[in-house]
Amino acid sequence: MTDLVLPLHSLHRRLGARMVDFAGYAMPIQYEGIIAEHQWTRSSAGLFDVSHMGQLTLPLAADAALEALLPGDIAGLKTGMLRYSLLLADNGGILDDLMVTRREGDLYLVVNGATKVADLAHLRAAGLDVTHHEDLALLALQGPKAVAALDRVVSGVAALTFMRAAAFDWEGVPLWISRSGYTGEDGFEISLPADRAEAFAETLLAAPEVRPIGLGARDSLRLEAGLPLYGHDLTADITPIEAGLAFAISKRRRVEGGFPGAAIILAQLAGAPARRRVGLAIDGRQPVREGATVIVDAAIAGLVTSGGFGPALGTPIAMAYVAAAATADGTRLQVEVRGKRLDATVVPMPFFPKSYVRGATI
């Protein structure tokens, strides 16, 4: 199967990216190298093309119907604000994680690229009048210097705070910009017409602070930030409570319920799930990968769902689902890699501190 091509394809090629298949699209995995790109994003500003993600809109009146599919308070979401939420199955498993924004005229959803087709079918089956905006590109500008670089091009974005969004204009091109991202750094996500994305990306890349960053560093950045990746750390067999995402169950919804799997999820919230997602710091230098077995007291006690090397930490780190008895911070356990057992410690996440620019408490 030929990979689908995204709006910035020719720009990636011109910038020397190595392209790989990801979610059916040809995507840049790296430009100069994952470690250099990772460190650049942590110290300056990195530009990511995330146009493979699904950009959807719903009528404002669909908020109640949307709440029947996810545990977030959408009715109470204020205009210009984002909420992280989860599409749930009836057993409480996670079908996708997504961002929901209430705008003046609609609800704007950003869903994962690999799941967007299934998400569309799921939303439509629930009777929602959903529009898939395939004519939009999505860029992320992330890092401590993102605000300065973007504000020079799009005056006023510096006034946004974390998880807030607004409409902007760049040379007549409509931009929808949120202060959000998936790297643990301060930064922005910019939705814009696909046919103007290359010109806008090149304008950002002309800034001395900004370099293009591939999917490889996007993965190592989100891993260091302790952020779970759908299809790996989150699946239809994992509940939000097991995943450590209780914050995504809004206060009102905890009282009212009415979302798929509510009985199971609220029971786990009140008690304790049998397993939980934890961070692991691995002794030594050898990385552990997704699929590696976690051993506690010589017995299998869990599974690694994401693992690699943390470039800003200089050590191997991982996320794993581990039996409740072994989830306390400081617990010593082992991870089996190619028949060898590596010692590891349960540690709090994020592995690397987040640097969000928060506004007033919401």
Residues that bind other proteins (CB under 8 A): 29-30, 33-36, 38, 216, 219-220, 285-287, 289, 308-309, 311, 316, 338
CA 200, CA 176: separation in Å to the nearest integer? Answer: 13
Q: What are phi and psi of 72, to 5 degrees?
A: -90, 155
Return the number of the residue (72 or 287) whose C-beta is nearest other proteins.
Answer: 287
* Helix/strand number for the chain, H first, E second: 9, 19
Q: Nearest approach, Cβ of 28 to other proteins (angstroms)?
A: 13
At 226, is the secondary structure helix, strand, or coil? coil
Q: How open is the CA angle 317-323-327, to the nearest 5 degrees?
A: 55
Question: Which residues neighbour 107 within 8 Å (Cβ) at sequence distance 6 or greater?
Answer: 57, 58, 59, 60, 62, 63, 66, 74, 100, 101
Return the number of the residue (191 or 334) whose C-beta is nearest other proteins.
Answer: 334
Q: Nearest approach, Cβ of 141 to other proteins (angstroms)?
A: 22
Return the number of the residue (71 or 308) whose C-beta is nearest other proteins.
Answer: 308
Peptide bond into 350 cis (omega under 30): yes
Q: Nearest approach, Cβ of 64 to other proteins (angstroms)?
A: 42
Return the number of the residue (15 or 245) whose C-beta is nearest other proteins.
Answer: 15
Return the number of the residue (249 or 280) whose C-beta is nearest other proteins.
Answer: 280
Q: Nearest approach, Cβ of 220 to other proteins (angstroms)?
A: 6
Return the number of the residue (50 or 223) whose C-beta is nearest other proteins.
Answer: 223
At 360, is the secondary structure helix, strand, or coil? coil
* Bridge partners (DSSP) listed for residue 55: 110
Q: Nearest approach, Cβ of 17 to other proteins (angstroms)?
A: 12
Q: Nearest approach, Cβ of 343 to other proteins (angstroms)?
A: 15
At 182, is the secondary structure helix, strand, or coil? coil
Q: What are phi and psi of 127, to 5 degrees?
A: 85, 10
Per-residue CA distances from 128 to 66, 67, 94, 314, 318 (Å): 8, 11, 19, 46, 37
Expressed in angstroms, the distance from the first to the final Cα of the chain is 46
Return the number of the residue (150 or 342) whose C-beta is nearest other proteins.
Answer: 342
Q: Nearest approach, Cβ of 38 to other proteins (angstroms)?
A: 8
